[in-house]
Amino acid sequence: QVQLVESGGGLVQPGDSLRLSCAASGFSAAFYGIAWFRQAPGQEREGVSCVSASNDYTYYINSVKGRFTISRDNAKNTVYLQMASLKPEDTAVYYCAAKYYTDSMVCETNYNNMDHWGKGTLVTVSS
């Protein structure tokens, strides 16, 4: 059974850090580009970051550049999103998603194109 399970969310104060994990099972995530999305209440889901299967290419939306870092450990079939200097506007449900590419050096954050999705983890940034 193909699964992506996110963890690591919680309630933090502005300026704090969190590390989200996305654990894959039922398939080898090493062959997939992995993306993180987030959806705040009343807003559309947006792509936050992605990492290629080869770990050579990463992407970040402008609002998180310099604060978030995506990484992957293919031996553990897990992708991480390290989030620092969190702001209230980062509050959202964070989802990870996987897409298979024949090219191991690409990834994307088009949510219409993902092959597999997790159920999300809630991040709340509030004082």
The reported pLDDT for the residue numbered 31 is 87
The reported pLDDT for the residue numbered 29 is 80
Which parts of 1-127 fold into alpha helices (H)?
none
Please provide the DSSP assignment of 73-96 as one string. Answer: ETTTTEEEEEE-S--GGG-EEEEE
The reported pLDDT for the residue numbered 1 is 82
Task: Round the CA-based radius of gyration of the chain to a whole number and report it.
Answer: 13
Could you say which residues of the chain have pLDDT below 50? Answer: none
Tens of pLDDT, residue by residue over 9-45, are: 999 999 999 999 999 988 888 889 999 999 999 999 9
Identify whether the C-beta of residue 36 lies closer than 8 Å to the C-beta of residue 49: yes
Determine how many CB atoms are found less than 10 A away from the CB of residue 41. 7
Residue 126, CB half-sphere, CA atoms under 13 Å: how many? 7
